[in-house]
Chains A and B, each alone.
Chain A
Amino acid sequence: MTTTDNTKRVARLAELREKFGRHPVEPQEKHYQGGSQRDRQPRFCGLESGHRACQGCGEALAARLVMECAGPDVMVANATGCLEVFTTPWPQTAWQVPWIHSLFENSAAVASGMEAAMKAKGKNTKILAFGGDGGTYDIGFQALSGMLERYHNILYVCYDNEAYMNTGIQRSSSTPHAASTTTSPAGAERMGKRHLKKDLLSIIAAHHIPYSASASVAYPADLQRKVRYAMGIEGPTFLVVHSPCPLGWKHDSHVTIEVARRAVECGLFPVVEVERGAVANVMPIREVRPVADYLGMQGRFGHLMDPNDPRAVEELTHLQALADYNISHYNLRGEGEDPADTAGITLVARDRAAGES
């Protein structure tokens, strides 16, 4: 590289930073949405449209929401999976930022190397690592734990669609109890997956990293606030984003957001924030739905919907108990709410509903 090239690159980077760069976010400001109307208009997005995701793909939506707030001065390490496949069929790419895909189980480790390289070169480019639930909860779990323990300055985002969707809907340790997948099919002898969904966020929290959180594509403002907050932290941060997969969950592609919202509203997917190992904030549920409202929309739980099958009733009861546990464990009901107020939780001020008045 000649000196002129390098000068040009530096200038171009400065220009991009100026135009689209990360705005400093005050950690205390919980509802940061940009300082002005101008800031709220569409910004640089590292992930362009035109990729090959399925209609209604929750992961594609989540990745776009994340990239909208990440800015241009980032580099992405992406695990093998749908996101990698549908964005980069050579010679095309949907990524407008430096992006690397190595393997299924090593995005956290590749990101660690990228971050070390940035440190060595004295650059402050933020490194993002992306993986699905298979690449995060299962096969990439060790590399992720190592990355967190070594305290790399990386935001790891897990797009959780609760099964190995890229290979054709096989159960992962993130698949919910009783869900039917191609390797945990419901049948005469079995009622879908026999084990529980791994409580990954608690395991991540046990690393005592500065910030970890769950989010859902149904709540984009919340998701983006969390990304901005994490981007401003020097150190390892982790975000798990609940991302419905119409193909794998067997629901219509136009109800992706509704399905994701109901997962939060029934308590099966608690949306919480954890700082240094302690729960710092939760998204309260204004009106708790029964889990059947959520499960009934999806073919993967279809075998639970027969009220005359005692096994189905038992599993449904079991799932309701799991949701109830989440609600009491994270205090998702909040306190002091008006029982007559049936507005959706998106319209409710989070802190007030959480009882902090």
Chain B
Amino acid sequence: MREALEGSQAIARAVALCDPDVVAAYPITPQTHIVENLSKLVAEGDLHTEFVSVESEFSAASVVLGAAASGARAYTASSSQGVLLMAEVLFNIAGMRIPLTMTVANRAVSAPLNIWNDHADSMAVRDSGWIQLHCENNQEAVDTTIQSFKIAQDTDLPVMVCMDGFVLTHTMEVIDIPTHAQVRKWLPPFVFKRALDPSDPKSLGALVSPDFFPEVRHSHHAAVDKALPVIEKVDASWAKTFKRDCGGLLTVEGPEDAKVGILAMGSTVGTLRTGLEHHDGPGAKLIKLRAFRPFPADALRAAVAGLDSLIVIDRAISPGLGGILGSEVKSTLYGMPNAPRIHNHAIGLGGRDIPESIVGDLLSSIEDPDAPAFSVFDADLSMLPPEDR
């Protein structure tokens, strides 16, 4: 049914459709509306779940860990500092390969304090071993949320659904919300075969010595890699049932013969698409990366084939290195014959507005042979003292 919903409200509705057994909730801007809406659904009797209002994000992550390890479908959500406070638990959840879902309403990380959108939070835990999927709009966020429960239990891995804070979480959109019956038919009941069970006792989280640790890490890496076809398959199955998809691992739009490409994740893609539509001149390919972890290396190499230049948009930086996504794209394309030249720019850090007109600036910047390999593209250096420029 199509309804005008705020992003967070739609996510709460989507989560409720998946019948979570346990929800752990802790407020943080801009995620708060999601758990608020979930608690409202519980209060109204529309969602029957164990709603655990914890005393910190650290405990939120720990509660869903314990719940999922006990065989319950579990969900939580967070942002920014909350994700960082959870960091230790997030690595632990992934290391134990416990399937569950968390929404990250992406927000900048302090200091300086900033509650607005960029990707610094989920990037900070990119090496935790979670699956990370980015959503362009709220319809995708709803669909990806429901898909994430299936991906999690098909891979025995936790899934982070990343959606841009405020830009998506606080924006009203017309959204097609599936019915409970439809979701129940599509999403099988939660099964975790290693779940704690007194009739078949297991020990989870043992001490692993150097004799076995590299093998554990190898198999974790392999498991996350093997999630690539699962993500594609689940999206395809979704498309078959609901007649729309979320773009699998990545999507490529624009003229076949374009020589320039722009790659981005999240809501920025929508801005760039509109910007490209309004831009005069030769068109450019727009590559939307949905799966950040696992990183779809083969799909990316195929997507950039034939391009001379690829502009990679980062919404977070690694100080002293540059763009994180940019660096990963470079390493993926290294050694590829006729690989495009990479232009890496961070834009919209800390929620700075990204105008559609930025497309023109980005495209003209590649003409400059002296352009730096990386820049914070929309930083106004005149605001800084000369020694900081």
Question: Which residue numbers of A lie inside 8 Å of B, CB to CB?
Answer: 1, 9-10, 12-13, 16, 72-75, 77, 84-85, 88-91, 93, 95-103, 105-106, 108-121, 125, 142-143, 145-146, 149-150
Taking a contact as CB atoms under 8 Å apart, the answer to whether B59 and A112 are in contact is yes
10 contacts between A and B (CB under 8 A): A10-B199, A12-B200, A75-B196, A88-B206, A99-B196, A99-B201, A101-B206, A113-B24, A113-B67, A117-B67
Inter-chain contacts of B191 with A (CB < 8 A): 1
Choose from A96, A98, A112 the contact partner of B197 (Cβ within 8 Å): A98
A-contacting residues, B47-92, CB 8 Å:
49-50, 52-56, 58-59, 62-72, 74, 88-89, 92
CA distance A296 to B68 in the complex (A): 49
CA distance A145 to B55 in the complex (A): 9
Inter-chain contacts of B193 with A (CB < 8 A): 1
Inter-chain contacts of B21 with A (CB < 8 A): 116-117, 120-121
Choose from A93, A116, A143 the contact partner of B50 (Cβ within 8 Å): A116
Question: Which 3 interchain pairs have the tightest Cβ spacing?
Answer: A113-B66, A109-B62, A146-B55
Inter-chain contacts of A112 with B (CB < 8 A): 52, 54, 59, 62-63, 66
CA distance A119 to B48 in the complex (A): 11
Taking a contact as CB atoms under 8 Å apart, the answer to whether B198 and A113 are in contact is no
CA distance A145 to B58 in the complex (A): 13
Taking a contact as CB atoms under 8 Å apart, the answer to whether A90 and B72 are in contact is no
Binds A, one of B207-215, B237-245, B286-294, B314-322: B207-215
Inter-chain contacts of B208 with A (CB < 8 A): 90
Taking a contact as CB atoms under 8 Å apart, the answer to whether A106 and B62 are in contact is yes
Q: Could you say which of B54, B70, B191, B204 has the most chain A C-beta atoms within 10 Å of its C-beta?
A: B70
Inter-chain contacts of B96 with A (CB < 8 A): 102
Does B22 lie at the interface of the complex (its beta carbon under 8 Å from any beta carbon of A)?
A: yes
CB distance from B303 to the nearest CB of A (A): 39
Taking a contact as CB atoms under 8 Å apart, the answer to whether A119 and B50 are in contact is yes
Inter-chain contacts of B45 with A (CB < 8 A): none
CB distance from A260 to the nearest CB of B (A): 27
Taking a contact as CB atoms under 8 Å apart, the answer to whether A121 and B72 are in contact is yes
Inter-chain contacts of B74 with A (CB < 8 A): 113, 117
Inter-chain contacts of A74 with B (CB < 8 A): 198
Taking a contact as CB atoms under 8 Å apart, the answer to whether A110 and B206 are in contact is no
Taking a contact as CB atoms under 8 Å apart, the answer to whether B72 and A102 are in contact is no
Inter-chain contacts of B200 with A (CB < 8 A): 9, 12
Taking a contact as CB atoms under 8 Å apart, the answer to whether B198 and A114 are in contact is no
Choose from A98, A99, A113, A145 the contact partner of B65 (Cβ within 8 Å): A113
Given contacts A9-B200, A102-B62, A146-B54, contact A89 B209 (CB under 8 A): yes
Does B389 lie at the interface of the complex (its beta carbon under 8 Å from any beta carbon of A)?
A: no
CA distance A237 to B194 in the complex (A): 28
Question: Which residue numbers of B lie inside 8 Å of A, CB to CB?
Answer: 21-22, 24, 49-50, 52-56, 58-59, 62-72, 74, 88-89, 92, 96, 191, 193, 196-209, 212
Q: Which residue of B lies closest to A97 (CB)?
A: B201
Can you add 20 more A-B contacts, CB < 8 Å, to A98-B201, A113-B69, A117-B70? A9-B197, A16-B198, A88-B206, A88-B207, A89-B207, A89-B209, A91-B212, A95-B203, A99-B201, A101-B204, A102-B65, A109-B63, A110-B63, A110-B69, A113-B66, A114-B70, A116-B22, A120-B50, A120-B72, A146-B56
CA distance A115 to B54 in the complex (A): 14
Taking a contact as CB atoms under 8 Å apart, the answer to whether B196 and A98 are in contact is yes
Inter-chain contacts of B50 with A (CB < 8 A): 116-117, 119-120
Q: Could you say which of B71, B196, B200, B212 has the most chain A C-beta atoms within 10 Å of its C-beta?
A: B196
Taking a contact as CB atoms under 8 Å apart, the answer to whether B209 and A103 are in contact is no
CA distance A118 to B21 in the complex (A): 9
CB distance from B29 to the nearest CB of A (A): 21
CB distance from A125 to the nearest CB of B (A): 6
CB distance from A146 to the nearest CB of B (A): 3
Choose from A10, A72, A84 the contact partner of B207 (Cβ within 8 Å): A84
CA distance A170 to B50 in the complex (A): 39
Q: Which residue of A lies closest to B56 (CB)?
A: A142
CA distance A121 to B74 in the complex (A): 12
Choose from A16, A85, A100, A106 the contact partner of B204 (Cβ within 8 Å): A100
Given contacts A97-B198, A150-B53, contact A116 B205 (CB under 8 A): no
Choose from B55, B64, B68 the contact partner of A149 (Cβ within 8 Å): B55
Q: Which residue of B lies closest to A126 (CB)?
A: B198
CA distance A142 to B66 in the complex (A): 17
CA distance A333 to B196 in the complex (A): 46
CB distance from B39 to the nearest CB of A (A): 14
Inter-chain contacts of B209 with A (CB < 8 A): 89-90
CA distance A121 to B202 in the complex (A): 19
Taking a contact as CB atoms under 8 Å apart, the answer to whether B55 and A143 are in contact is yes
CA distance A116 to B74 in the complex (A): 10
Inter-chain contacts of B88 with A (CB < 8 A): 103
Taking a contact as CB atoms under 8 Å apart, the answer to whether B201 and A117 are in contact is no
CA distance A150 to B59 in the complex (A): 12
CA distance A93 to B62 in the complex (A): 22
Choose from B65, B198, B207 the contact partner of A75 (Cβ within 8 Å): B198
Choose from B54, B67, B92, B198 the contact partner of A98 (Cβ within 8 Å): B198
Inter-chain contacts of B66 with A (CB < 8 A): 77, 100, 102, 109-117
Q: Which residue of B lies closest to A106 (CB)?
A: B62
Taking a contact as CB atoms under 8 Å apart, the answer to whether B89 and A102 are in contact is yes
Choose from A75, A90, A105, A106 the contact partner of B70 (Cβ within 8 Å): A75
Inter-chain contacts of B59 with A (CB < 8 A): 106, 108-109, 112, 142-143, 146
CB distance from A74 to the nearest CB of B (A): 7
Inter-chain contacts of B65 with A (CB < 8 A): 102, 106, 110, 113
CA distance A271 to B209 in the complex (A): 39
Choose from A91, A111, A125 the contact partner of B198 (Cβ within 8 Å): A125
CB distance from A19 to the nearest CB of B (A): 13
Given contacts A116-B72, A117-B67, contact A102 B203 (CB under 8 A): no
Inter-chain contacts of B49 with A (CB < 8 A): 120
Inter-chain contacts of B92 with A (CB < 8 A): 102-103
Q: Which residue of B lies closest to A95 (CB)?
A: B203
Q: Which residue of A lies closest to B66 (CB)?
A: A113
CB distance from B19 to the nearest CB of A (A): 10
Inter-chain contacts of B201 with A (CB < 8 A): 95-99
CA distance A125 to B62 in the complex (A): 19
CB distance from B169 to the nearest CB of A (A): 25
CA distance A166 to B299 in the complex (A): 47
CA distance A106 to B58 in the complex (A): 8
Taking a contact as CB atoms under 8 Å apart, the answer to whether A120 and B22 are in contact is yes
Q: Which residue of B lies closest to A110 (CB)?
A: B66
Q: Which residue of A lies closest to B211 (CB)?
A: A90
Inter-chain contacts of A102 with B (CB < 8 A): 62, 65-66, 89, 92, 96, 205
CA distance A74 to B89 in the complex (A): 23
